[in-house]
Chain A
Amino acid sequence: GENVEQHPSTLSVQEGDSAVIKCTYSDSASNYFPWYKQELGKGPQLIIDIRSNVGEKKDQRIAVTLNKTAKHFSLHITETQPEDSAVYFCAAHLSSNTGKLIFGQGTTLQVKP
Chain B
Amino acid sequence: DTEVTQTPKHLVMGMTNKKSLKCEQHMGHRAMYWYKQKAKKPPELMFVYSYEKLSINESVPSRFSPECPNSSLLNLHLHALQPEDSALYLCASSLMTGPLGGELFFGEGSRLTVL
- Give A residues with C-beta under 8 Å from B: 31-32, 34, 36, 41-46, 49, 51, 87, 89, 93-101, 103-106, 108
Decide: B48 and A99 in contact? CB cutoff 8 A. yes
22 residue pairs bridging A and B, Cβ less than 8 Å apart: A34-B104, A43-B108, A44-B106, A45-B106, A94-B99, A97-B97, A97-B98, A97-B99, A97-B100, A98-B55, A98-B97, A98-B98, A99-B31, A99-B55, A99-B94, A99-B97, A99-B98, A100-B48, A101-B104, A105-B42, A106-B42, A108-B40
With A95-B99, A99-B101 given, name 16 new contacts (CB 8 A).
A32-B100, A42-B108, A43-B90, A43-B92, A44-B43, A44-B90, A45-B106, A94-B99, A97-B100, A98-B55, A98-B56, A99-B33, A99-B97, A103-B43, A106-B40, A106-B42
The 8 closest A-B pairs by CB, nearest first: A43-B106, A103-B42, A99-B48, A32-B99, A97-B98, A99-B97, A93-B99, A44-B106
Residues on B with C-beta less than 8 A from A89 are: 42-43
| Residues of B participating in the A interface, judged by any CB pair closer than 8 Å | 4, 31, 33, 40-43, 45, 48, 50, 55-56, 90, 92, 94, 97-101, 103-109
> Which residue of A45, A93, A104, A108 is within 8 Å of B42 (Cβ)?
A104
Chain B residues whose CB sits within 8 angstroms of the CB of A43 once the complex forms: 4, 90, 92, 106-109
Query: What's the least CB distance linking A108 to chain B, in Å?
Result: 8
Nearest-neighbor residue (CB-CB) of B103 within chain A: A46
Q: Kindly provide the distance from the CB of B99 to the nearest chain A CB, expressed in whole angstroms.
A: 4
